[in-house]
Chain A
Amino acid sequence: NAGVTQTPKFRILKIGQSMTLQCAQDMNHNYMYWYRQDPGMGLKLIYYSVGAGITDKGEVPNGYNVSRSTTEDFPLRLELAAPSQTSVYFCASRPGLQRENNEQFFGPGTRLTVL
């Protein structure tokens, strides 16, 4: 299993450009999450999905959109990039069943700079 994969690893965008951050998992997990990580701020939840066709907002959803057409893929869309969206983006997934450790499995991250 590849686990959670993210592409691209790095990207530089100009203000106002748009892009899609890709996330895929091959573990047949129901739940998927998108976080952003800024220095000294921990991880903030952007959007999440409990299954194909179902998405919901997290703590910091403004400026982002998501879709979940399959169990495996959960892309994150930035429509009008702004410097405030410069961050490291992590995708994570977890199985649907209740588990004692509530572990989420993280991808390697996408480092995005908006200039």
Chain B
Amino acid sequence: QKEVEQDPGPLSVPEGAIVSLNCTYSNSAFQYFMWYRQYSRKGPELLMYTYSSGNKEDGRFTAQVDKSSKYISLFIRDSQPSDSATYLCAMSLLSNDYKLSFGAGTTVTVRA
């Protein structure tokens, strides 16, 4: 079993739709939960982060963490063509040299 599972998609939605992405994980000790966005042929960039359980909202983006279910989600409201990218979930322990465990990434295309 992989430590972090993420459906690689691809996911294609019309402009304005809500995009829903999720990851499951097996290590209950994970404390940091992040979403990175990666445009084609670029390096990943941090999009959202959450420490422990709960919800976090930033503009059109909402990140949710449910530690009891070992499940994290990212929602993109009013999606735009500029949101077309690969979204990678990542998580880490409280210490352990801050190493990140990544999901496979989900490729999202928002159609104009």
Contact = CB atoms under 8 A, between A and B. Distances in A.
Interface of A: 4, 31, 33, 40-45, 48, 50, 56, 58, 90, 92, 94, 100-104, 106-109, 111
B102 A90 contact: no
A104 B97 contact: no
B75 interface: no
Contacts of A44: 102
Q: Closest 5 interchain pairs by CB? A: A106-B43, A42-B102, A101-B49, A43-B102, A102-B32
B104 A109 contact: no
Interface residues of B, number: 24
Contacts, number: 61
B51 A43 contact: no
Interface of B: 4, 6, 8, 32, 34, 41-46, 49, 51, 88, 90, 92, 97-100, 102-105
Which of B8, B46, B98 counts the most chain A CB atoms within 10 A?
B98
Given A50-B97, A111-B41, 7 more contacts: A4-B43, A42-B88, A44-B102, A90-B44, A102-B98, A106-B43, A108-B43
Given A48-B97, A48-B99, A109-B41, A100 B46 contact: no
15 contacts: A33-B99, A40-B104, A42-B104, A43-B90, A43-B100, A50-B97, A100-B49, A100-B51, A101-B46, A102-B32, A102-B92, A102-B98, A103-B34, A103-B46, A107-B43
A41 B104 contact: yes
Contact of A94 (B8, B98, B103, B104): B98
